[in-house]
Amino acid sequence: MGFIMANFARANLATLKKTASYYLVHITVAAFVAYSVTGDLLMAFTLSLLEPTVQAVAFFCHEKVWERWGSHRPASQASAAPSLT
């Protein structure tokens, strides 16, 4: 199992790094928003960890689908599409 996870991590390193960065930013924003809405520090921490964790998994899956979808587009479509980076 460890070998499979290591290969998975190596094959997806860039996306995993991007996901981790997004996760930290999202937790910070969510904590500020949750605290300002609830005024409860424990509730803010709970909400700021729960929702971004689900979002990080969704973001990683979205990135993988996006990469796969982009690699199957015909060359004429891929070259005509505007760059997002």
**What pLDDT score was predicted for residue 52?**
79
Which residues, at least 6 apart from 78, have a Cβ–Cβ distance to it below 8 Å? 70
17-39 pLDDT, tens digit per residue, is: 988 898 899 889 989 999 999 99
Give 51's pLDDT tier (boundaries 50, 70, 90): confident
**What pLDDT score was predicted for residue 53?**
84
26, 56 contact by CB (below 8 A): yes
Q: Which amino acid is at 18?
A: K
Q: What burial letters (b/e) apply to 16-36, b meaning 16+ CB within 10 Å?
A: eeebeebbeebbeebbeebbe
**What pLDDT score was predicted for residue 40?**
96
Mean pLDDT value of segment 3-21: 88
